[in-house]
Structure 1
Amino acid sequence: MTVEADRGIPFAVAFDDVVANVERVIRGKRTAVELAVICLFAEGHLLVEDVPGLGKTTLARSLAASVNAGCHRIQFTPDLLPADITGTNVFNQRAAEFAFRPGPVFANLVIADEINRASPKTQSALLEVMEEQRVTVDGTRYPVPLPFMVIATQNPVDMDGTYALPEAQLDRFLMRLRIGYPTLDAELEILEGRQVGRRVEDLRPVMRAEDVVAHAERTLAVHVAPAVRRYVVQVVAATRTRHDVLRLGASPRGSVALLRAVQVRAASAGRAFATPDDVKALAGPVLAHRLVLSPEAELRRVTAEDVVAEVLDAVPSPRRLVGA
């Protein structure tokens, strides 16, 4: 069995088309690209964190360029205001009334570039729209178009001029991923690609916005056996008992996000059912950024990814999948 969209194209084929298109620009980082595309079809938001110059913004732009949908880019700076993101009411002198002028958040794909360079007040402007897909201005609610995805980039919090994202903001991102330095061969391909026109500006869309919605709906049909659902919950719940290294474990939103991502990963492999391996592959990107380390863990240089890996080792994986 395979998961198919309305046009009859198998989801796995459509998934590979988007991945291949992004990889025309992002070379040697297939895992990061696949995770970003999983996030797109899981209808979640993506946080890309790494040091400058590794292609965070390029990855976001390449993903946006692969979908024929409305895309706005917001450059976050210390002087950016919440109204610069959400929009504001402007007085129309001719009509003698106020009219709402939408901000750049009203798009299918919103690139929040260097999100942690804006003040916490400005960052909070995204809280409502990332969770409820709407913006409230002066008591009036305005829905954003669907699909809706925020692709945010940020530099490590220990770099100059950055503000740490609050826990509530981080919890709204379905995934956080890091790109990392490319291999020597991949870096050579990057240099050669720029000479032969493999740039973001040269990418052409391979999917329409409505196709993204259709494929996302089809992935909801991926069967998740009760044993796998319980495994998801057990993994997430185990993070809440690690009081030796964590001040805060993952929330139930983390369980929902992990299950949704697992369905998309299974569908991308052409399967109509999820497996424990899907959970293990996605637990780090989906859960690590939701964990708050204790001061002792930070002194010991324990990372959230280390904690997730330890939890996966400790929680028994189901051996038999009923109905898979």
Structure 2
Amino acid sequence: MSSIQQNPLKRPRTAGTVKRTHHLTHIQQLPAATEPAAQDEAFIQAQLLRSICTALTIVGYDSVKPSALEMFRAEVEEYMMNFLTTVKDSMSASRRTTATPQDFVFALAEAGLDSHHLDPHLKLRLPDDIANPAIPPPPPSEPPPPNLAPMLGQDLATPATQQYGYIPSHFPPLPSQHAWQSTALFTQREQDPRRIRERATDEGVQAEHALRKLTAANKARLRQAPVDKAKDQLWQDTISDLLDDEDDLAPTQDADGDIKLDGCMEHGSGNRAVSTANLIREGGGLMVNHDRNHWRRGRGTVHI
């Protein structure tokens, strides 16, 4: 007999015993007249500000400044954030994913409030737009995409049915092939030798006509009038004379090494700055574009 005393009141465990786990079978049902919560942030902010204004009116205030109203809104938002944090802590401590009334009772107890403290608030006569606001309807759904099957054809407009192993199963199906695959374009080439020879003959005739037009245009340019030739020769002679005159005028320098121009008066070295200013004021000075009239036509105006 073993020295360890066995408890006769304890049921011995057998090999065929199955561990049973109890599950929650009751699911709380929502009321039929429950409206969905508003998701518009602007609507929620407007309702909060309207509630604060109503509370101020009940206690006897006639008006409120925007700065004070914003301060009240910040205080209410901070208080509600702390209150809901306590509710979440109670919910997490009980390993629940949805808050229950017990969590809110715990949060009220942490804030130092009991159920009888809420009775005066329940007796207040609030306007309908505060107690039961009308939630705006959700935005309309997007229109369905246009049907591109008549234009693209069944090969491109039909969604892809092939499944790829590297794409997870929870991903949406691939769109139509025209959205991610380009259509191959093949040029139609002529295979008939007779048609090929005819096309080559037509291209040769077109090339001959083009060369004849170029030759006729060149002959028309060569047949220049005698008056135009005389003007051209006169212009060339004038340009040659001007270039020869510029080559004959050698620049001279004064004692200080400055270039002196013809027609400019000599001044002393002490009053050189004053003389230069007077020269520019009188319209003199270095002319860097004196041959501007002989420049080629057709270019933009050059400002120097």
Give the TM-score taking structure 1 as reference length: 0.15
Q: Give TM-score, length-normalised by structure 2.
A: 0.15
| Higher fraction of strand | 1
